[in-house]
């Protein structure tokens, strides 16, 4: 098969991205490796020329930082299209060195996940310390997001880098600056209600994401958010994102008591 015709695709549950990049490197492929979420939204891209890494982008991040974060993705799917060339040159380091760093980051992330409380755990700053330990710039950034309401998962989502977030939280917990408050988010017990079409005037926009549509079909007015998350195998932060979208599009609603809890929760989303 000619290089220009070469295509490769797969799911991240079946293939780790570092292994895919290593394969493309060994076979000296030129092209774009694009990574997509399960709802088909593009997350980022990696460009290679003759198997050498030249550029990576993830949202508004480019270069080595983007490549490092892309290599940590473990949900969604990838597509490699040969022949696509980026005009940007943001990475000049050897690919072997970057992949070695990725391997170390994967091992560290696994350790953080094992040693930290569950992602649904709410964290708070410890008051009345006898002495305040030293904190580096990265830890200060994460510490500023700890407010006694946000979960570990929510803090990680706001930062956008799970490895950096969990690493800093692991250190802050060890230093005694942060403590765990609860293992459940208050929204887990809420029961979203579907809004019948007969009660609506005018047309409603359909949710743009496949994930949101799957959630909408599962909402029956008797199932809690926690049960929906477990049934659909969704992270709480992702499900909350889709709940907010469905509320805005007027596909679902909450009763008065649940709505109050939801609005209090949403105060921390910005």
What are the pLDDT digits (tens) for 180-194? 986 677 788 999 999
Per-residue pLDDT, 132: 80
Closest CA to 143 of 167, 163, 111, 119: 167
Number of other residues whose CB lies within 10 A of the CB of residue 29: 20
Is 0.85 surpassed by the pTM of this model? no
Determine contact, residues 16/23, Cβ cutoff 8 Å.
Answer: no
Q: What's the pLDDT at 3?
A: 46
All residue ranges of the chain with pLDDT < 50 are 1-4
Report how many domains make up the chain: 3
Provide the 10 A C-beta neighbour count for residue 63.
Answer: 17
pLDDT at 1: 42
Q: What is the pLDDT of residue 253?
A: 95
Q: Which domain holds residue 132?
A: 116-182
Q: What CATH number is associated with residue 254? A: 1.10.10
pLDDT value of position 163: 93
Q: Are residues 104 and 8 in the same domain?
A: yes
Taking alpha carbons only, the member of 186, 134, 143, 192 closest to residue 164 is 143
Among residues 44, 75, 108, which one ends one of the domains?
108
Question: Are residues 104 and 35 located together in one domain of the fold?
Answer: yes
CA dist., res. 64 & res. 56, Å (int): 7
- Nearest by Cα to 75 from 186, 237, 189: 237
How much is the pLDDT for 228? 93
User: Taking a C-beta distance cutoff of 8 angstroms, is the pair 253, 192 a contact?
Assistant: yes
């Amino acid at each position: 098969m000619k290089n220009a015709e070469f295509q490769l695709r797969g799911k991240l549950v079946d293939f780790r991205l570092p292994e895919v990049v290593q394969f493309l490197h060994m076979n000296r492929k030129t092209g774009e490796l694009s990574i997509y979420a399960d709802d088909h939204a593009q997350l980022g891209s990696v460009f290679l020329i003759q198997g050498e890494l030249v550029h990576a982008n993830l949202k508004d991040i480019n270069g080595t930082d983007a490549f490092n974060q892309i290599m940590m993705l473990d949900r969604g799917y990838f597509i490699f299209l040969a022949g696509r060339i980026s005009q940007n040159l943001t990475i000049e380091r050897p690919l072997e060195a970057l992949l070695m760093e990725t391997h170390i980051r994967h091992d560290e992330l696994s350790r953080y996940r094992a040693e930290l409380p569950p992602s649904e755990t709410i964290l708070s700053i410890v008051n009345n310390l006898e002495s305040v330990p030293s904190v580096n710039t990265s830890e200060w950034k994460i510490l500023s997001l700890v407010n006694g309401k946000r979960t570990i998962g929510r803090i990680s989502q706001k930062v956008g880098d799970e490895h950096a977030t969990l690493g800093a939280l692991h250190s802050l917990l060890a230093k005694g600056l942060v403590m765990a408050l609860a293992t459940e988010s208050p929204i887990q017990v809420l029961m979203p209600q579907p809004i019948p079409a007969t009660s609506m005037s005018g047309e409603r926009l359909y949710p743009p994401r496949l994930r949101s549509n799957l959630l909408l079909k599962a909402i029956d007015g008797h199932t809690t958010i926690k049960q929906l998350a477990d049934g659909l195998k969704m992270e709480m932060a992702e499900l909350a994102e889709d709940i907010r979208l469905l509320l805005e599009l007027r596909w679902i609603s909450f009763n008065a008591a649940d709505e109050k809890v939801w609005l209090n929760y949403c105060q921390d989303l910005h």
